[in-house]
């Protein structure tokens, strides 16, 4: 147990301080190359450097590699770390391409599905789908489909909630810590420790991404966070718990898809929100604009960007608590399964 505690501390520190240290020079480099985008919600429309993905990925890669050396030698741990490294790096490449070029709405889901293949190739999964209270279902063939769908879903879900300052990184910090706690409750210590770099890299990035943002994660950053979250859900056999911790972002995607009714690149749709005279964010009057979580939040009354972020974080904490309760329920067996 002592080795696990040391691994957890070292990996967390590496992830946190590498991201914390890399973002300022990255901001300088991006600004110098004029890789900047307009912050549409800021008064005056400041130009913000993007993407922060390279810093997030570096922090995660270095801390996961440290875990390979620090955790006890075990085939499952090696496969898990390899799956995280390969799939997360592939998701970064997909996001980086999308950061630099405008691609069709189908590009990211299909490319992320391809990025999920290494998980299958490495055999870093268990085909039992665990449910609370009632046990597991064995779905060997169907589970391959779950893997192929999981990474595009988690990647795009985090990407689609990256709409305002600090939301993607702050939301992922809360979701990843919730998932880590759930894994500790389920005594899946090695995967819980592998989750900590995601939580601490997100937390460090949040320092620069929070309102008023000094850098945006871009698609490369958001897809790294979302894809790694998906890989952890698979290798930790906590797919259902991971989905529950992500519910506010899932709702955002669900509302968007059920109003747009097709997979479309976000640049191609009308903005669901607009600004009031005092620069608060309010719902648009455009009837054909998509319904999103932010639009619902500001439907009652206009809010500032910071207030919207805090509302989403409270929703994330709520679903994180539901995920932790679900982890406890996993340990409870009903009469049906006894």
Partner 1 sequence: MGHSLIYIFIAAMWALILIGGAVLVTLVAQISVEGYGEQLDFLIGSIIKAAIAIILVVIWVLVLTKMKNKIFQKQIKS
Residues that bind partner 1 (CB under 8 A): 129, 131-139, 141-142, 240, 243-244, 247-248, 250-251, 254-255, 258, 283, 291, 293, 296-297, 299-300, 311, 315, 318-319, 322, 326, 329, 336-337
Give me the least distance between CB of 127 and partner 1, in Å please.
Answer: 12
Quick one: residue 44, left, alpha or beta (phi over 0 = left, psi -120 to 50 = alpha)?
left
Q: Are 171 and 245 in contact (CB under 8 A)?
A: no
Give me the least distance between CB of 326 and partner 1, in Å please.
Answer: 8
Whichever of 101 and 336 has its CB closer to partner 1, that residue is 336
Contacts of residue 283, defined as CB under 8 A and 6 or more positions apart, other chains included, come to 272, 273, 274, 295, 298, 299
Q: Are 211 and 305 in contact (CB under 8 A)?
A: yes
> From CA 169, how far away is CA 154, in angstroms rounded?
14
What is the pairing mode between strands 36-38 and 128-131? unpaired
Give me the least distance between CB of 271 and partner 1, in Å please.
Answer: 16
Any alpha helices (H) in the chain, and if so which ranges?
2-32, 53-70, 75-100, 107-115, 117-122, 140-160, 167-185, 189-209, 218-235, 239-245, 247-260, 293-297, 305-330
Q: Are 232 and 242 in contact (CB under 8 A)?
A: yes
Whichever of 72 and 300 has its CB closer to partner 1, that residue is 300
Whichever of 258 and 276 has its CB closer to partner 1, that residue is 258
Give me the least distance between CB of 180 and partner 1, in Å please.
Answer: 19
Whichever of 103 and 317 has its CB closer to partner 1, that residue is 317
Give me the least distance between CB of 196 and partner 1, in Å please.
Answer: 25
Give me the least distance between CB of 267 and partner 1, in Å please.
Answer: 23
Whichever of 56 and 327 has its CB closer to partner 1, that residue is 327
Whichever of 59 and 248 has its CB closer to partner 1, that residue is 248
Whichever of 192 and 244 has its CB closer to partner 1, that residue is 244
Helix pair angle (53-70, 75-100), 10° resolution: 170
Q: Are 171 and 206 in contact (CB under 8 A)?
A: no
Torsion of CA 313, 91, 66, 51, to 10 degrees: -60
Give me the least distance between CB of 128 and partner 1, in Å please.
Answer: 10
Give me the least distance between CB of 265 and partner 1, in Å please.
Answer: 22
Contacts of residue 236, defined as CB under 8 A and 6 or more positions apart, other chains included, come to 179, 183, 186, 188, 191, 192, 194, 195, 242
Considering only CA atoms, give the Rg of the chain.
Answer: 19
Whichever of 5 and 332 has its CB closer to partner 1, that residue is 332
């Amino acid at each position: 147990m002592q080795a696990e505690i040391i691994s957890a501390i070292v990996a967390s520190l590496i992830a946190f301080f590498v991201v914390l240290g890399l973002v300022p020079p990255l901001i300088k480099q991006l600004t110098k190359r004029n890789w900047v985008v307009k912050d549409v919600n800021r008064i005056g429309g400041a130009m913000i450097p993007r993407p922060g993905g390279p810093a997030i990925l570096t922090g995660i890669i270095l801390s996961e590699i440290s875990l390979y050396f620090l955790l006890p030698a075990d085939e499952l741990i090696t496969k898990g770390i390899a799956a995280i490294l390969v799939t997360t790096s592939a998701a970064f490449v997909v996001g980086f391409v999308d950061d630099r070029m405008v691609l069709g709405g189908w590009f990211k889901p299909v490319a992320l599905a391809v990025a999920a293949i290494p998980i299958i190739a490495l055999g870093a999964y268990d085909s039992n789908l665990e449910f609370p209270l009632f046990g597991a279902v064995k779905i060997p063939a169907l589970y391959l489909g779950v893997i192929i769908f999981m990474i595009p879903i988690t990647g795009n879900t985090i990407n689609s909630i990256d709409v305002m300052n600090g939301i993607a990184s702050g939301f992922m910090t809360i979701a990843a810590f919730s998932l880590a706690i759930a894994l500790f409750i389920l005594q899946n210590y090695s995967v819980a420790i592998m989750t900590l770099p995601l939580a601490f890299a997100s937390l460090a990035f949040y320092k620069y991404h929070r309102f008023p943002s000094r850098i945006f994660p871009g698609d490369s950053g958001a897809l790294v966070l979302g894809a790694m979250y998906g890989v952890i859900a698979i290798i930790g056999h906590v797919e259902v718990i991971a989905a529950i911790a992500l519910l506010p972002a899932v709702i955002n995607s669900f509302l968007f898809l059920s109003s747009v009714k097709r997979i479309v690149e976000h640049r191609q749709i009308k903005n669901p929100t607009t600004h009031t005279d005092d620069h608060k964010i309010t719902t648009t009057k455009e009837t054909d604009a998509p319904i999103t979580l932010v639009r619902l939040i500001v439907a009652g009354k206009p809010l500032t960007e910071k207030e919207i972020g805090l509302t989403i974080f409270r929703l994330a904490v709520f679903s994180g608590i539901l995920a932790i309760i679900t982890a406890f329920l996993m340990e409870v067996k009903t009469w049906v399964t006894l």
